[in-house]
Structure 1
Amino acid sequence: MSSPLPIVVCALDDQIGKPVSELLLPEFEVIHFIQSLEAAQAEIPHLLAGNDPKSKHTNDVGTKDYSRPVRAIIFGRGFDLEDIEALREKVAGTSPEAVIWIAGDPSRKPPPGAVPPPNYPQLVAGVARKLLGGWVEAGANKDEVILY
C-alpha cells in the first residue's frame, strides 16, 4: 500500500489516543478518534462507507481526512468485546473493502482503577503496528477481529 492505511482509534482517554495516532504514522493514519461506545455506534458506519461522521468533532486527534473508507478500527481496553462484536455485526457489509477490528482481550483487562504505565501509548502503538503490519502483509483482504 502506497498511502497510509486509514484507521479509527477508539479509546476513552485522548491523552492516550493522540500520542498513539502520532506513533502509528506514516504507515497508518488515524483519521478519527472516538471516545465512547455511543459515538462509535453512530460514527463507524459512516467512516466504513467512506463518509464523514455525522457528529461534530469533539477532539483534535486524527487527521479528519475522510476521503477513503476506514480499513482498521482499534479499540482500547475500556470497550467491551461484546459491544465491539455487536457493532461489527451491525455494520457488516458497509465497507467496500476488508476491515480489521483490533480489540482488547477480555482475559487481559486490567483491574478497575488500575493506572497505565507512563509508556502506555508507546506500548499500544507498538502492538497495533505489529498487528496492522501483519494484516497488511497477509494481503489486508480478510475481515477479522484480533485480540491483544
Structure 2
Amino acid sequence: MASGAVNAADLTAPVPVVLCGKTLEVGEKVTPMIKPEIEVIHFVNSYEYAKENLGDLIAGRGPKAPSGNVVGSHDYSKPPRAVIFGRAFAPEDVKELNRLFRGSGTPVAWIAGDPSVIPPENPGPGYAEKAADNVKRALNRWKDAGANSEDIVYY
C-alpha cells in the first residue's frame, strides 16, 4: 500500500486514538464513554508532553517519556488513527500540534472542540456523555469523508 493510503481495516472498531485532556479525572471519565467505537491507547494531559511525544505516538513507537498515568491501553502495536482534544486544550495549541505532526504517514484525524462554542463553566449531568457522542460523530464524519484529511475536525 502506498504511503498515506488508507487501510480500511485500520478504521474498524475500536479505532486507536490518543486522547488529550488537561486533567486526569476527565481522561478517566471520558475513556470508557467513547468505547467500544474508540480505544484510547494513550492519554496526554499537557501541551508540552504532546509536543515532545505525539510524533512517536503517531508513528506507533510509543512515547519517549512515560505518561505517568494509567488512562488508556498503552497498546502501541497499532498506530493511532486520531488525536482527540478536550475543550480545555487551547485552540492555538491544537493548531500548532496539527501543524507540527500532520503528514507523518497514514492520515490521522485531528478532532477538537469548536473554539466558537464556549463550554459551561460548571458542566452539569450528561455533559461528558454528550461530549463523548460529539467526538464519535466527528470521527465518523472524518471517516465518511474518506479518512484522508488531516485538517482539524471540530465537534
Provide TM-score, normalisation by structure 1.
0.88
What's the C-alpha RMSD, in Å, of the aligned pairs?
1.7
Q: State the shift of 1:37 in Å.
A: 0.7
For the 8 Å contact 1:16–1:120, the answer to whether it is kept is: no
Q: State the shift of 1:138 in Å.
A: 3.1
What corresponds to 1:142 in structure 2? 149
For the 8 Å contact 1:17–1:61, the answer to whether it is kept is: yes
Select between 132-141 and 7-16 the one with higher mean Cα deviation: 132-141
Instruction: Provide the secondary structure at the position in 1 that maps to 2:74.
Output: coil
Q: State the shift of 1:146 in Å.
A: 1.2
What corresponds to 1:101 in structure 2? 110
Instruction: Provide the secondary structure at the position in 2 that maps to 1:106.
Output: coil
Aligned-partner Cα distance in 1 for 2:50–2:36? 24
Q: State the shift of 1:119 in Å.
A: 2.4
Aligned-partner Cα distance in 1 for 2:12–2:119? 37
- Give the 5 Å matches for 1:4-23: 4-23=14-33
Question: What is the one-letter code of the residue matched to 1:142?
Answer: S
Q: Give every structure 1 segment of 4 or more consecutive aligned residues whose post-TM-superposition deviation is greater than 4 Å.
A: none
Question: What is the one-letter code of the residue matched to 1:108?
Answer: V
What corresponds to 1:54 in structure 2? 64
1:122 is the counterpart of 2:132: no
- Unaligned regions of 5+ residues in structure 2, if any? 1-10
- Unaligned regions of 5+ residues in structure 1, if any? none
Instruction: Provide the secondary structure at the position in 1 that maps to 2:79.
Output: coil
Q: State the shift of 1:2 in Å.
A: 3.6
Aligned-partner Cα distance in 1 for 2:58–2:50? 11
Aligned-partner Cα distance in 2 for 1:3–1:116? 29
Aligned-partner Cα distance in 2 for 1:133–1:87? 22
Aligned residue-pair number: 145
For the 8 Å contact 1:10–1:73, the answer to whether it is kept is: yes
For the 8 Å contact 2:62–2:76, the answer to whether it is kept is: yes
Task: Write out per-residue CA displacement over residues 75-125 of structure 1, whole angstroms, 9 at most, x where no aligned residue.
Answer: 11111111111111111322x2111111122221347xx122232221111
Question: What is the one-letter code of the residue matched to 2:107?
Answer: A
Question: What is the one-letter code of the residue matched to 2:145?
Answer: A
Instruction: Provide the secondary structure at the position in 1 that maps to 2:116.
Output: helix
Aligned-partner Cα distance in 1 for 2:117–2:13? 33
* Percent identity over paired residues: 41
Aligned-partner Cα distance in 1 for 2:140–2:26? 21
Aligned-partner Cα distance in 2 for 1:132–1:92? 16
Provide TM-score, normalisation by structure 2.
0.84
Question: What is the one-letter code of the residue matched to 2:51?
Answer: Q
Q: State the shift of 1:55 in Å.
A: 1.1
What corresponds to 2:3 in structure 1? none
